[in-house]
Every structure is written in structure tokens, then in C-alpha cells.
Amino acid sequence: MTDAATDVPLTLAVAAKRYNAQVAASLEMEQAPRPSPTVTTGDCATAWAMLDRCLAASPQIADALDKGGCLVVVEVPGPDWIRPVRETLKLYLSGPTEMDDAQFKTMMETLALPDDEETPFSEEPEEPVRPEWAWFSELGEKDRHWAPHDIDSMTTALGNGKGVIMLASRLDRMPASVRHAADHHLTLPTLDGAAMTVAAHVLTGHHPSITIDDRLCGYLNPDILRLSRRLGEDGDAWIQRLRSFANLASQAIPYAGPKLADLHGMDDAKKWGLNLLEDLKEYRAGRLPWQDVDRGCLLVGPTGTGKTSFARILAGTTGLPLVTGSHSEWQAAGHLGHMLAAMRSTFNRARIEAPCILFLDEVDAFPDRQSLRNNQRDYSLQVVNALLEATDGTLAREGVVLLAAANSLAVDPALVRPGRLDRVIMVSLPDDQALAGILRQHLGPDHLPGVDLLPYVAGMVASGAEAELWARDAKRKARRAGRPMTPEDLVADIPRPEAVSPDLHFRVAVHEAGHAIAAAIEMPGKVQIVKVQGDHAGVRFELGQFDTAAHARSHIRILLAGRAAEELCLGAAGFGSGGPVNSDLARATSLAASMLAGHGFGDRLLWLGNAAPENAASFLSAHPSLADQVSRMLTEEHERVMALLRPRQQAIDKVACILLERGSMSGHELEVLVAAIPTSTELAL
């Protein structure tokens, strides 16, 4: 479809519009009616609008469709769009021939003659031969679908000079060989208000004066578009009917989950979310510019701490749509080009849905560019750069609140700079009160009403996801028994620690008291909770990042403090300090090796590699001199933490007794106790 005068590629719709403008100007009419394709259903009219937009933006594909003899992959918004897009594309490919300049000039001269004179048009040129096409679509589309033997059919069609068009809603639903061999790839956009305006014009011949909000277009599907057409109605009537349906559909399933105000645990995230809620109210009222909205946040914490649930609750509380994406979801789209296209599609959908919440999960799966090595460096670099480009606040992202989740802070530093995920919130496992609140939330008011749940979870180290599982299992037991839930139903599903001897229990309490007191001294204000309950024992504190060697050494002392407390109070260390890869000794060894080998804090300024916990032992075996340095460092820090705890044995005993009695104590309570108990000058010597 090429204009011979200017050699500018045109789509059929653009050519028709230019032709109408010429006719209108010559006849001095206000407006000439725009020729429309012969479509009689709303879904095909909408498919026409989407195809028209894509081909206008991709003239090389429009030209290829005119010529034929090639393999074209067409990606549609969903499986239900395959039939209307195929029907409409067939109509598009068999459309009328454009009138050339000579024919147009002759027609104008004829129209200018008096009514009694008539000059016949020159003979019409022969109808050009239209290319032939073979059609295929993804498995599951009822009229025509992909089958393995179709490769032979495609090969035969292409060998005979025919073209092949393959339609699919997702690229991974078509054969990889077809994707790779395709000459052209056409991706239809999601519906928006502009496309619906064009569709109304195409369907009714009347340009509507109203439109549909882009966000509401997501509730329209081909069946609705087809059923909403009424004979004789103009474009406004059709658009109005669709608007009414979309408005109802958007309110059909109101959010009925917990609100931010009801959230247990995650106090910092909850505070940020409530502030965002107020900002969004001001923004939507036109009283606050978007640049003043606190709109980017990264939640960092272990699996099961409720990061994904927080995204759902935030969207439900604000009443905004939730758009989601993740590294694994985008990677599943295919090779690099398809992965980047899937990533861009997610961000484009968020812009269409705005205002909305865009939640990006597992962002720590995107590597730090500084850590990339030769192996697949180019691939990973392009992926990270694409993510940074998409999240850049300087791009069109108004109305999109960017919320992300990660299990660790091992992300590219550019991702957490201002303008992207500029606020980082650490999320930890819930304490006893929060865990009881989460359990009550999942049980609801109808199960165990009035029962205090705190005793059932006191001292437990568990996530909100585990509490949800306990509640679900207890409900099922009561439901199958045909009776109200009893406390026994709940207790049966909460895992209890195996019984341990009093001596071992006391040793564990002393061990954790050593960790807790060292952490309270080394990192004031960072300890959150200390727990001791059988094998559920530990100290939770806000770690942050290691900025210097001194910070890393401080953490090594905290890791060795449990062993030191056992030596001071019990005469010797037990097996609890070492053993598996996540033990205190293994983590301290890995951290020391990483400092020396990977960060240049050894006796030589040399990078030897990263000593991760899982390979630290083999790494040190391969570097004996490095192993000697690590051993010396651990010995030095062990002596220092011994000196730190020796004058505080009274505090260790007191904390251990509280842990034995109650199972846990808060970080604030710990710091008050440590400050109140005087240190022993005699023991310090």
C-alpha cells in the first residue's frame, strides 16, 4: 500500500482518510463520509482498529502483507481474540484497491461537468492478483489450531509462493521453530479508549462523541463487543452500552479482604502504605502533583513474610488495580527478545491501568551489573538495563505506584536510587503478637470467638503464610466433622517442637542470650525479638548492608557470641554453634572468606572470587593461605566477643532465665535489661 507520488507507505485506513479529504475539498463539502470495511460485529470492528494501528506503526509489515510469500506471526491480546482478528485480517488483505492519481483526476473532471455532459472514466485497470495465505493458530482455538504436522503444510505453502500467518495469544504457545523462522512479528495492543472510538466509527459509520476510559477497556472481550451491537444505533449508543457494562464489571467483585489498618506485623510497610493512601487521595482530588507522591518501595525479607499479600492489601485498600510481573514470568516468554517484550508489555499495561499498583516480585533475581562475569554477561546486562529503563521515574509513569519484593538486598544499586524503588523497607517474620493477629485474621470472627490465640503461637518462629495454613487446616477439620471449631483442631495443626532435656534447653537459652546481648551492644536499636522454643530459637535484628570491614567484623562477633556465651557460662561450647551450612560457624567463616577473597581485606590487594556459604569449604580448600587468614580473623573476633561478654555474664544469666520462663523477649526489653545490669570489672580483667 504505497502512495506513488510520495513513496510513503500507507495503511488502508490512512489511504481512505486522505481520499475522503480530497473528495471533500473538491466538492466543497463539510465532511465526506469515510468508507468503512464491511464488518457487522463489534469484535471484528475492534480488531480492525487494533490492526489498523499496528500496521500504521509498522509499514514494513503492511508492505509484506501486500506482497505475500512470507511467514508472519501475529500475537493477539488473548485466545478469544484469535477468531475475530483472523476474520478481520482476511478482510484487510482482500480490501479494495486504492485509486491512483489518474483515476482520481478523471473522476474529479467528470464531477465538474454539467449534468447533461458525461465523460466516461478510462477503462478500469485489471484487479491486481492478491497474495494467497495459509492460516494457523495456537492449540485450543476451536476453528483451526496448530498441530505438529502443520510444519509440513507451512513448508509446502511457502514453497509454492504462498504466505503463512500464525496467530497466537502467547508466543510460548506456538512452536519455537515458527517463532524463529518468522519474517515479521506483529503484536496487537491491548484495548484502549482510542481503539474503541475507531471501532465505533467502523461499525456504525458514525464518529462517537464519547469514549471509554482506558482502564475500563480491560473488562471488554470479543463476546461482549459482539453482543452489544444493536441494529440502527449510532456510535454513541454502542459506546454508552459498553461503558455501562465495563463500569458494572469493574465493581462486580469488590475487594473484601483485610485493609491496611487491619494488617498485623510489617509495621514500617504498613506506615508507608497508609501515608501513600493519603497521598493518593490528594492526587486524585487534584491537590497534589504526582511528583510529590511517595510512589516507589522495595520490600526485603525472607519467604513467607507477606510481601505479596501486602501488595494485594495495598491495592484493595486504595481501590486501585493490581498489575503484577516477575523475572520468572517474563523469562518464560522465551528468548531475550521475547522476555524484554513481555517486560515492556507489563509496564505498558500498568500505564493503561493507571492509577494502579505495579507489583514486581523477585527483583533480586535480576543480578547486580557489577557482579556479572563473562558467562552470559551480554544477556543479563540487557535484561537489567531494560528493567532500569522501565522503572525510571523520568519516563511516563504517572499514576503507577511501583512496589517490589526481594528476599535480599542483593540488587543492582541503580534499582533503589531515587526515582525508582527509592524507599527500602525490611520485612521480618512476625513476632508473637503479630502472629496471633494474623492467625485471628485468617480464622475470622466465626471460629473460636473470644479465644486468646497468643498462647498457641508464643515462642513460635513462623511466617504469616504458615499461620494461614494452620487456620485453613483447622477449618477443614471442623467442617468435615460437622461441628464448630475447637482449640484442639487448631493445636493439631500447629507444629510443636520436639521435647528437649532441661540441660539442652538451658544451653540453647544461654547461647541465644549471648547472640542477643552482643547484637544489642554492637548494633543498638536493631534487635527486634529473641526466641527460645525447642528447635525454634534465634535472634532477629535489622541487619542492613555491610558498608565497611568494621561492620562485617561486628557481625562476625555477633555470630560467634552464642559459642562464647556457652564457654563463659557453661565451661565449654556445644555442637549448636556449628554443623550445617546455615550454622553460626559456617556463616562467620563464609563472611570472613568473602571479606578477604572478594573485597580485598586480606594480606594482599587481590580478588580471588566470591566465597558463598555453599562453596566456602571447597573455596578455602583450594586456597590454603586464605584459609589461614580466615582462621586468624575468626580467632581474633572470638577473643574480642569473649572480652565483650565476660563482664556481662550476669546479664547472660538473666536473659537466659527470662527466655526459659517465657520463650521470648522483645528487643526493647533486652536493651533496657542490658543497660540496667552493671558490668563486672573483675570479670573483665
Tell me the per-residue pLDDT of 344-364, one tens digit each, with 9 for 90 and over. Answer: 888 888 887 778 899 999 888
d(Cα 89, Cα 184) in Å, to the nearest integer? 15
Q: Mind listing the pLDDT tens digit for each residue in 217-276?
A: 878 889 999 999 898 889 999 998 998 888 777 665 567 678 888 888 788 899 999 999
Contacts of 191 (CB under 8 A, 6+ apart): 46, 50, 77, 217, 218, 220
User: What pLDDT sits at residue 301?
Assistant: 82
Same domain, 181 and 230: no
CATH classification at residue 470: 1.10.8.60
Contacts of 607 (CB under 8 A, 6+ apart): 597, 598, 600
Torsional sign, CA 202, 203, 209, 214: negative
Q: Is residue 127 part of a domain?
A: no
d(Cα 234, Cα 242) in Å, to the nearest integer? 13
d(Cα 189, Cα 126) in Å, to the nearest integer? 36
Same domain, 361 and 461: no
Q: Is residue 245 part of a domain?
A: yes
pTM: 0.50
User: What pLDDT sits at residue 615?
Assistant: 73
Grid coordinates representing 402? 511501583
**DSSP-derived pairing of the beta strands 664-666 and 527-533:** antiparallel
Q: Is residue 195 part of a domain?
A: no
Helix (H) / strand (E) containing 50:
helix 42-57
Q: Is residue 374 part of a domain?
A: yes
Grid coordinates representing 590? 563464609
Sort residue 315 into left (φ over 0), alpha (ψ -120 to 50) or beta.
alpha
User: What pLDDT sits at residue 36?
Assistant: 46
Segments of the chain with pLDDT less than 70: 1-37, 95-128, 139-149, 172-173, 250-254, 256, 370-377, 393-396, 459, 496-500, 533-536, 540-546, 612-614, 680-685
Same domain, 620 and 558: yes
Contact criterion met (CB below 8 Å) for 306 and 463: yes
d(Cα 79, Cα 167) in Å, to the nearest integer? 9
Contacts of 495 (CB under 8 A, 6+ apart): none
Same domain, 553 and 613: yes
Torsions phi, psi for 572 (to 5 deg): -160, 155
Torsions phi, psi for 360 (to 5 deg): -110, 115
Q: Which residues pair with 401 in a beta bridge?
A: 357
- Long-range pairs for 645-648: beta carbons < 8 A, 24 or more residues apart: 645/514, 645/517, 645/518, 645/561, 645/564, 645/565, 645/568, 646/568, 646/680, 646/683, 646/684, 647/679, 647/680, 647/681, 647/683, 647/684, 648/517, 648/674, 648/677, 648/679, 648/680
CATH classification at residue 158: 3.40.50
What's the structural domain count of the chain? 5
Buried b (16+ CB within 10 A) or exposed e, 50-66: bbbbbbeebbebbebbe
Q: At which of 426, 452, 475 does a domain end?
A: 426
Same domain, 317 and 366: yes
User: What pLDDT sits at residue 142?
Assistant: 41
Q: Of 42, 390, 341, 52, which Cα lies nearest the Cα of 217? A: 42
Q: Is residue 55 part of a domain?
A: yes
- Is omega for the bond preceding 321 within 30 degrees of 0, making it cis? no
d(Cα 315, Cα 357) in Å, to the nearest integer? 6
Buried b (16+ CB within 10 A) or exposed e, 500-516: eeeeebbbbbbbbbbbb
Grid coordinates representing 30? 463539510
Q: Identity (one letter) of the amino acid at 347?
A: F
With cell 471533500, the residue in question is 24
Same domain, 291 and 246: no
d(Cα 612, Cα 594) in Å, to the nearest integer? 7
Torsions phi, psi for 374 (to 5 deg): -65, -35
Q: How far is CA 61 from the centre of its chain?
A: 32
The CA–CA distances, whole Å, from 357 to 4, 182, 246, 313, 417 equal 48, 35, 20, 11, 19
For residue 287, count other CB atoms closer than 10 A to its CB: 8
d(Cα 116, Cα 510) in Å, to the nearest integer? 114
DSSP letter string, 154-211:
HHHHHHTT-EEEEEESSGGGS-HHHHHH-SEEEEPPPP-HHHHHHHHHHHHSS--S--
Q: Mind listing the pLDDT tens digit for each residue in 155-172?
A: 988 999 999 999 887 776
Q: Is residue 204 part of a domain?
A: no
Domain of residue 156, residue span? 12-114+133-189
Q: Of 670, 665, 671, 668, which Cα lies nearest the Cα of 532? A: 665
Q: Identity (one letter) of the amino acid at 478?
A: A
Helix (H, G, I), strand (E, B) or coil at 540: strand
Q: How far is CA 369 from the centre of its chain?
A: 20
Q: Of 621, 552, 622, which Cα lies nearest the Cα of 587? A: 552
Same domain, 273 and 413: yes
Q: Is residue 126 part of a domain?
A: no
CATH classification at residue 507: 1.20.58.760
Same domain, 54 and 137: yes
Same domain, 361 and 457: no
The CA–CA distances, whole Å, from 549 to 511, 553, 599 equal 25, 6, 9
Q: Is residue 201 part of a domain?
A: no
Torsional sign, CA 285, 288, 289, 295: negative
Same domain, 226 and 266: no
Same domain, 458 and 353: no
Same domain, 238 and 290: no
CA atoms within 13 A on the CB side of 172: 11
Contact criterion met (CB below 8 Å) for 44 and 198: no
